[in-house]
Amino acid sequence: MTTISRVGVLGCGLMGSGIAETVARSGLDVLVTEVTWTAVENGRRRIEGSLRRAVQRGRLTDDERALALSRLTYTTDLGDLADRELVIEATAEDRDLKRALFRDIDKVLSGTGTDAVLASNTSSIPLTDLATATGRPDRVVGLHFFNPVPVQALVEVIPALTTSTDTLDRARRFAADQLGKTVVQAPDQAGFIVNALLVPYLLAAVRMVQAGTATAADIDHGMELGCAHPMGPLRLLDLIGLDTAQAIAESLYEEHAEPLYAPPPLLRRMVAAGQLGRKSGQGFYAYPL
């Protein structure tokens, strides 16, 4: 079986830029798409800054950084993805948006007669919902990376009910053999493995702040020092993005109808106020922008 050499990444936000960087650092040709050139430039700066920090920390050499940058190209035209062997969607956690994108990219790929794989980095949306928006449901699979992608070792691979054995095998080999990630196979249900366990824990921490049980700092220190977690739940929420966490929780609650998945009022109000965590400069903590 041939390895994948040409990858497209749909979206260059926090996750999309991390995926694009990781794939480029692994020696593959990467084409990144965004809706505007302003978004492209923001994503390019994010990737360049991450690579620069990797050099400063001794994780990359200057030559490796330059090689990774040379493997990255950018576009605002989905049609440019026609020659890709794998396209990874990494846009906002919005079911309708993702289904529309899958329909559009399916048209691009179908016109070339290729057997390209179409993957989603969704955190919680069932893959079958996305696969059925295309004319190639057997070629759709989930590749759920974790933030920050260049550092985190795990990838959840999620087959839809329609995913072929060949597509699943190609996705696993890509993540494990070409990117060097540890792969776990997750069921096609909202939240998969990690978020189905993680989100109730994060929401419980929000409820504790909401009820005045403890401060955000005390909750985080308790879990970091008492349970040896590398990061407390509220700092982790700020890293994930409170809007993303709310979207994941809503998807989980829609599927399971369990109260522990329901977004707490405090979380909803912080999102409405634009207090999204690190990316907005304010969440449960303040961050310099």
Which residues have a catalytic role annotated?
Answer: 123, 144, 156, 195
Backbone φ/ψ region at 118: left (φ over 0), alpha (ψ -120 to 50), beta: beta
Q: For residues 219 and 225, is the Cβ–Cβ distance under 8 A?
A: no
d(CA 111, CA 53): 40
Pseudo-torsion of CA 281, 42, 60, 65, nearest 10°? -170
Reduced DSSP (H G I as helix, E B as strand, rest coil) percent helix, strand, coil of the chain, to 5: 50, 15, 35
d(CA 130, CA 120): 8
Tally the C-alpha atoms within 13 A of residue 82's C-alpha that lie toward its C-beta: 9
For residue 165, the tally of other CB atoms under 10 A from its CB is 9
197 exposed, middle or buried (CB, 10 Å; 0-12, 13-18, 19+)? exposed
